[in-house]
Amino acid sequence: MAEAKKAPAPAESAEAPKPKRNIVLYVVIGLLVLIVVGMTAVAGYLFFALSATQTYSEPVASEAGTEEGHEGDKASEKKKKKKKDKANPEAPPVFVKLDTYTVNLQGGGSVLQTEIHVQVIDEKQKELITGYLPRISSQVNLLLSSKKAEDVATLEAKVKLMDEIKNAINRVLGARDEEDGVMSVEFKTFIVQ
């Protein structure tokens, strides 16, 4: 009987290393799963990151003939044109001469005479400004005649006036951003008497 008890003991000791082999196998399989999941996550991130930049740089073609497609095409053309203009700093600026304005300033006795030029992004905007010139001139006249001589005497006041004129013109044009309307206002002459 003593021999019978000793025989099962070596069988148990032979089975003991088997669970260690199973643990190592599970660890290796777990690491492989983690590596595959990590690589999949990186590949997904790169896919979405590259497709997002492609979406912004190259618009996806929409159905032909729909208004949304035309608006998307116009927006993409405008973005391409902006990039082209910014990429070519050697292109000469486009200016539009507004009228020569002579207005009586508030407070009596002072007269302001100025010739104004505005800078726009391209020839198309120049034509738009020309089409709205009567309304633009009216708004600029009203703005200039609302000032006092003291309001336009300093350099800072003139710069502020340039910004006010730009905003008034862009309101007339319905411009949403600088590239839709006037980019800057320049005084060719500025005389207060």
Query: So what's the pLDDT on residue 48?
Result: 74
Q: With a cut of 70, which residues of the chain have pLDDT below it?
A: 1-20, 51-89, 178
Residue 120 and residue 180 in one domain? yes
Q: What is the DSSP string of 139-165?
A: HHHHHHHT-BGGGGSSHHHHHHHHHHH
pLDDT, tens digit, for every residue of 5-21?
A: 555 555 555 555 556 67
pLDDT, tens digit, for every residue of 38-54?
A: 888 888 877 777 766 55
| CA–CA distance, 22 with 29 (Å, rounded to integer) | 10
Residue 73 and residue 161 in one domain? no
| CA–CA distance, 30 with 24 (Å, rounded to integer) | 10
In a domain, 3, yes or no: no
Query: So what's the pLDDT on residue 40?
Result: 87
Query: So what's the pLDDT on residue 166?
Result: 92
Query: So what's the pLDDT on residue 164?
Result: 93
Query: So what's the pLDDT on residue 62?
Result: 43
Q: Which amino acid is at 156?
A: E
Query: So what's the pLDDT on residue 174?
Result: 86
Query: Domain count of the chain?
Result: 3
Question: Minimal CA–CA distance to 162: which of 133, 138, 183, 192?
Answer: 183
Residue 134 and residue 114 in one domain? yes
Query: So what's the pLDDT on residue 155?
Result: 93
pTM for the model stands at 0.54
Tokens of 105: 């300033």
Q: What is the DSSP string of 119-137?
A: EESSHHHHHHHHHTHHHHH
In a domain, 2, yes or no: no
Query: So what's the pLDDT on residue 188?
Result: 92
Query: So what's the pLDDT on residue 17?
Result: 52
Query: So what's the pLDDT on residue 13?
Result: 52
Residue 147 and residue 114 in one domain? yes
Range of the domain at 73: 59-85
Residues comprising the chain, all counted: 193
Tokens of 138: 């009216």
